[in-house]
């Protein structure tokens, strides 16, 4: 945001061109405009929603429905009762010191040997 620059995933764009042009580009440009006009506010808050509606005439939907299995990577974690596939973002947050807990057993999530090997 600070660089006034947007990046788009080329494979997702190629696989979902119409949705990108209709929804993703307005969504991301609205984030940029929100940052420029209002500074640091809630990512999908009233300012962003207003720009989506009044500037782009689009429904302010914060999520997409793209099939991302072919372009994402997951990292394997465990707690005391289950295993989880965490996103790259959450994995990197953990590497920087964040902690995530299981919602069922409240135990901290720990990297499996597979996740350790992927580091």
pLDDT at 16: 83
Q: Taking the CB of residue 55, how many other CB atoms lie within 10 A of it? A: 12
* Helices marked H in 16-106: 17-19, 25-38, 46-54, 88-95
Q: Taking the CB of residue 94, how many other CB atoms lie within 10 A of it? A: 19
Q: Which band of pLDDT confidence, cut at 50, 70 and 90, is reported for residue 15?
A: confident
| 61: pLDDT strictly greater than 90 | no
pLDDT at 70: 66
Helix (H, G, I), strand (E, B) or coil at 87: strand
The set of catalytic residues is 28
Q: Tokens 């990297």 sit at which residue?
A: 111
CA 78 to CA 108: how far, in whole Å? Answer: 8
Helices 46-54 and 25-38 meet at what angle, rounded to 10? Answer: 120
CA 10 to CA 7: how far, in whole Å? Answer: 9
118 versus 12: the higher-pLDDT residue is: 12
Comparing 14-23, 41-50, 58-67, 81-90, which segment has the lowest mean pLDDT? 58-67
| 69: pLDDT strictly greater than 70 | no
Q: Which band of pLDDT confidence, cut at 50, 70 and 90, is reported for residue 116?
A: low
């Amino acid at each position: 945001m600070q660089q006034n620059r947007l990046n788009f995933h080329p494979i997702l764009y190629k696989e979902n061109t119409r949705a990108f042009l209709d929804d993703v580009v307005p969504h991301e440009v609205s984030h940029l405009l929100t940052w420029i006009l209002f500074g640091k506010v809630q990512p999908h808050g009233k300012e962003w929603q207003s720009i989506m509606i009044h500037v782009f005439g689009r429904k302010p939907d914060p999520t997409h429905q793209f099939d991302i299995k072919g372009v994402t990577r997951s990292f394997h974690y465990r707690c005391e009762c289950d295993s989880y596939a965490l996103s790259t973002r959450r994995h990197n947050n953990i590497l920087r010191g964040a902690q995530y807990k299981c919602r069922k057993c409240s135990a901290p999530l720990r990297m499996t040997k597979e996740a350790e090997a992927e580091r």
